[in-house]
Structure 1
Amino acid sequence: MDILKPIRIILLLMFIYGISQAQLSPGELSKPHAFLDGIENCNKCHGFDQKLSPDKCLACHIYLADRRKQGLGMHANSSYRNCEDCHVEHQGKDFELIFWKDGQEKFDHNLTRYILDGKHLSVKCRDCHQSKNISQDIVTKEPKKNFSTTFQGLGQECTTCHADEHRGQISAKCSTCHTTAGWKSPAKFDHASVKFKLTGKHITIACDKCHPLIVDNRSEKDKDYLKLTGIQSAKCLDCHKDVHNSKFGQNCEGCHDTDGWSNVARGQFDHSKTRFALLGAHSRVACEKCHTPGKPFKGLKYEKCQDCHRDYHKGQFASRLQAGACEECHTVDGYLPTRFSVAAHAETKYPLQGSHLAIACNACHQKELLTGNVETIKFKF
C-alpha cells in the first residue's frame, strides 16, 4: 500500500485550488473588504457576468444606499452610480480604495452638496472627517466600517464638528447669527429680533458689557462662555447705577434716552424735584445755559443770583442792608419791571417829590461804559 498517496492527493488538490484562485481572482482584496476574500464570496459583489454590481455594494453599504434614495450627497448624482469608477479593488490589502482623479487636495467638495467657503477653505480634510464626528446613523447601519478612514457620516450641522459655545442657551442653528467667515463677529445677528432692542449708545457697547462671562472650564481650550439668556433688562437700573439714589424714582426714561445720560429730554424733566425749582424766566432758559458741556449736572452753585448772573451794577449797592442782593429789586419773571418803588426811593438820599415822581428812571439813571467797555447803569451819584 502506498502510504504517500493521500498526501499526494492533498497536495494536488491544494495546487489545483491555488491555480483556480489565481485564475478566478484578479488579486488580493483591500483591508476593508478582506472578509470577502475567497472564491465562495465572489458573487457577493459580482454578477454572473463577473461585473461589479452596484446593487450588491449597496446591500452592505446600507447608509450610502439610504442617502441615494433620499437624493443626498455626491453618490446620489447619476454620474457617480458605478462604484468601480472611484473604488478599485483586487490591488492588494494596503491599496487605497478611493481614487482621487486630481488628488485629494483638489477634490471638488461642491459635489457633496456641502459647499466649502470662508474659513472652511483652509481646513484639512481630516480636521472634519474624524471618527468622533461621525453620526450614530452610519455606526448603526454599517458597524463593520472603519470609521477612521471613511469620509462618510458627517452631518451638515455646525455642531457636527464644533462644540456649542453657547451651552444650549439658544438655537443650535449657528448660521442664524454666524457665517463661515469666523465666529467672533456674529454678522447676521440682529438684536432687534429679541426682547431688548439696541438703540442709541447701546449699539456701540461690547457684548460682554451686558452679557457676563461665565467660567465653567468645559475644556482646556474652552473655559468660559457668554451668558446670553436670563439677562434682566426691563429697567435701566438692571444694568446702570442710580446716581440719584432714588430721588427721582426709577423711571430713567422720564428724563433720559439711550443717546446718552447728558441728553436730558426737554420738557420731560421735572426740575422742581431738585433743590432749585425753575420759576418765571428760568423755565424758558435752555439747559446748557446753566449746565454747560463738560460741567457736571450736580454741584452747581445756585444760592445767590450772582452764582449764575454777573453783577450788572458793579457793586453800587454793596453797602445796602442786603448787600446788593438781586431779589431786593428783581424777580424771576425778569429784570424789568423792577420792584424798586417810589417808597423805596424815599429811603435813599434823594426822595422823589413833585414832578420827579413822573419822570422815567432812565431819564436820570443812564447807561455808561466802564473800563474795558463794560456797560452798566449809574444809580449812585
Structure 2
Amino acid sequence: AQFDVAAHAQTRFPLDGAHVATACRACHREDTAGGARAFRGVETACRACHDDPHAGRFDAARLPSELGGRTGCARCHDTNAFRDVSWSADDHRIWTGYELVGKHADASCASCHGAPFADAPRDCASCHEDVHRGQFREHGRTDCTRCHEASKTFHDLAFDHTRDTRFRLDDNHARLACSDCHVQRPTRTGELVVRYRPLGRECRDCHATER
C-alpha cells in the first residue's frame, strides 16, 4: 500500500512546507517494546519533535492562545522554516500592547529581543543612546516622544518651543538657530553636551547688561 501526501492530508496532521520532505520514520518511530512503528496516536504538537527555544515563554496565560486562527508555534511561524516569522506589526500590538510604527516596524525581532528571545523594555533609552544625558528624565524615565516623532526618525521633531517650554519665542527669537541659545556645556563628568534644560529665561542670562 502507498500512503502519499494526499492521503496524509486526511489525517490530523496534513503535510506541508518542510514536513513534505521529511522521512516517515522521523515522526513515526519504532515502538521500543515490539519494534513496530507507531502510526496512530502520534503527537502532532510541534514540541513533540522540535525543541522550544523560547522555553515556554509564549505559553503564558497573559498572551493570546490564537492569532488569526493560528495556534501554538503557528501563531508566529510557518512550516517552511522556523526562521520565517509571519508576524505583522498589528500582531505585535495584540501580543505586547506595544505598536510598531515607523522604523520600529522595519527592525528585525532580534534587534530588540535578542537571541534567545527575551522580553524587551519599552523605554527608548534601553535601545537608543540618550544624547541629552538625562536632561529630560522625569520620574526615572525619559519620554522621547514628547519631542521626537516615534513613527519617523529622531531628526523629525514633534517639538513646539512655544507649546512645550516656558519660554515663548517672539519674532526676534524665532529667527535664531537652536544652537544660538542651546550651546554645549560640560556635564559633571566633563563630557560636552548641548544644554536644553535647565536654561535661564531672563534677558540677562543670555544678553550682557548694557552700560
Q: 1:224 to 1:247 in 2, by over 3 A?
A: same
RCO higher in structure (CA 8 A, sep ≥6)? 2
Residue 274 of structure 1, CA deviation: 1.6
Residue 270 of structure 1, CA deviation: 0.9
* 1:80-91 mapped onto 2 (5 Å cutoff): none
SS for the counterpart of 1:283 is helix
User: Looking at CA atoms only, which structure, 1 or 2, has the larger radius of gyration?
Assistant: 1
Matching of residue 355 in structure 1 with residue 172 in structure 2: yes
Q: Is contact 1:255–1:268 with CA below 8 Å preserved after alignment?
A: no
Matching of residue 314 in structure 1 with residue 125 in structure 2: no
Pick the aligned partner of 1:244 from 42, 45, 58.
58
Residue 280 of structure 1, CA deviation: 3.0
For 1:353 and 1:378, locate their aligned partners in 2 and report how far apart those are by CA, in whole Å. Answer: 21
Which residue number in structure 2 is paired with residue 301 of structure 1?
A: 121
Pick the aligned partner of 1:200 from 18, 41, 45.
18
Q: 1:205 to 1:364 in 2, by over 3 A?
A: farther
Residue 198 of structure 1, CA deviation: 5.8
For 2:98 and 2:141, locate their aligned partners in 1 and report how far apart those are by CA, in whole Å. Answer: 24
Counterpart code for 2:37: L
Q: Is contact 1:345–1:352 with CA below 8 Å preserved after alignment?
A: no
Higher helix share: 1
* 1:93-104 mapped onto 2 (5 Å cutoff): none
For structure 1, the residue ranges without an aligned partner over 5 or more in a row are 1-170, 177-188, 217-222
Pick the aligned partner of 2:166 from 328, 346, 367.
346
For 1:268 and 1:204, locate their aligned partners in 2 and report how far apart those are by CA, in whole Å. Answer: 32
For 1:269 and 1:226, locate their aligned partners in 2 and report how far apart those are by CA, in whole Å. Answer: 43
Residue 202 of structure 1, CA deviation: 7.6
Counterpart code for 1:317: F
Q: 1:376 to 1:226 in 2, by over 3 A?
A: farther
Which residue number in structure 2 is paired with residue 270 of structure 1?
A: 91
Matching of residue 257 in structure 1 with residue 86 in structure 2: no
For 1:192 and 1:310, locate their aligned partners in 2 and report how far apart those are by CA, in whole Å. Answer: 55
SS for the counterpart of 1:280 is coil
Counterpart code for 1:300: A
Counterpart code for 2:145: E
For 1:323 and 1:254, locate their aligned partners in 2 and report how far apart those are by CA, in whole Å. Answer: 33
Q: 1:287 to 1:324 in 2, by over 3 A?
A: closer
Q: 1:238 to 1:273 in 2, by over 3 A?
A: farther
Which residue number in structure 1 is paired with residue 207 of structure 2?
A: none
Residue 364 of structure 1, CA deviation: 4.2
Q: 1:287 to 1:215 in 2, by over 3 A?
A: closer
For 2:92 and 2:40, locate their aligned partners in 1 and report how far apart those are by CA, in whole Å. Answer: 38
Which residue number in structure 1 is paired with residue 206 of structure 2?
A: none
How many corresponding residue pairs?
Answer: 177
For 1:288 and 1:337, locate their aligned partners in 2 and report how far apart those are by CA, in whole Å. Answer: 27
For 1:299 and 1:305, locate their aligned partners in 2 and report how far apart those are by CA, in whole Å. Answer: 14
For structure 2, the residue ranges without an aligned partner over 5 or more in a row are 200-211
Counterpart code for 2:58: H
Q: Is contact 2:182–2:194 with CA below 8 Å preserved after alignment?
A: yes
Pick the aligned partner of 1:287 from 101, 109, 112.
109
